[in-house]
Structure 1
Amino acid sequence: MTESIADQLNQASKGLLFGSETDAPFEVVSWPTQEELTQTKLLELTGHPPDAPVEMRTVDDFFAIATAEEDWHDEEERETVKRFQNLVSVLKQNLSNIQVYRVGTTDIDAYILGLTPGGGLAGLSTKLVET
């Protein structure tokens, strides 16, 4: 992964917390793999057990609530929405074939991953809690 993609993802996600029952920060992740990303390969790369449940979502579905501006949002909330919109834009500008993988059921590890121009995997990870 080129430094600029990591830098752009770090900068775009810095200070943002993904809202669920816990608010978690984002971490930049990358793997130099040239293999097609299967659910089995994802679990291997991320150190999850091979039988962990994996659910896939599109990047737009995953960020739908975070990127939707609402009439009742105050100025700070509107600013946060703009930052999430920018984050999605940075992901789409730098990565192709972006997919979101949700690993687990209650304590969920989410990976927003795509292909870099050099052919590796890169993106962001965060944690969600859904009970």
Structure 2
Amino acid sequence: MSSSEQEELVGLLQRCVDGLLCLSESEVPFQVFIWELQSPITPDMVLQQTQHPSNCPVEVVDLDQFLEVADQEQDWHGIEEKEQVKRYQHLVEVIKNNLSDVQVYKIGKIKIDVYILGRIASGQIAGISTQVVET
């Protein structure tokens, strides 16, 4: 993947998350990034790359599991909620179409840093991050 293709992917992901908030007890925006790494994606590597202590708890979950509440339309949803669901569905589609080996890394307890990571064609790691509160 060339640098222009990387920039295009970052722009695409940024448009997907612009104004979108992660649903939890606190609503935190998403941040898009590319890590210039070719190493395997492991919990230890994610802790090191995000500068968390090595003993910080890490939970690895599937993308669909992490976003199942956000990207599923409910009977009680109004127009605004339905639009947000469509945006989440589009985000999932973009992630799955552009990243391989996608996993979600949840780091910490209660106030949890979340990293949705995958590999791009060049082998580097790309994704989005946010924060959730789980009490």
The TM-score with structure 1 as length reference comes to: 0.98
**Residue 120 of structure 2 corresponds to residue 79 of structure 1:** no
Aligned to 2:64: 60
Match of 2:48 among 14, 37, 44: 44
Partner secondary structure for residue 105 of structure 1: coil
Aligned to 1:25: 29
Distance 1:103 1:72 in 2: 32
Distance 2:24 2:76 in 1: 20
Partner secondary structure for residue 84 of structure 2: helix
Aligned to 1:120: 124
Q: CA deviation at 1:19?
A: 1.0
Q: Structure 1 residue runs of 4+, over 6 Å off?
A: none
Distance 2:42 2:91 in 1: 25
Q: Percent identity?
A: 45
Q: CA deviation at 1:38?
A: 1.3
- Structure 2: segments with no counterpart, 5+ residues: none
Q: CA deviation at 1:124?
A: 0.2
Q: CA deviation at 1:29?
A: 1.8
Distance 1:78 1:28 in 2: 24
Q: CA deviation at 1:82?
A: 0.2
- Structure 1: segments with no counterpart, 5+ residues: none
Distance 2:29 2:19 in 1: 7
The TM-score with structure 2 as length reference comes to: 0.95
Q: CA deviation at 1:84?
A: 0.4
Partner secondary structure for residue 37 of structure 2: coil
Letter in 2 for 1:8: L
Letter in 2 for 1:70: Q
Computed over aligned residues only, the root mean square deviation of the Cα atoms, in angstroms, reads 0.8
**Residue 9 of structure 2 corresponds to residue 13 of structure 1:** no
Aligned length: 131
Q: Deviations over 1:26-82 (max 9, x none)?
A: 000211111101111110000100000000100000110000001110011100000
Letter in 1 for 2:103: Q
Distance 2:73 2:27 in 1: 19
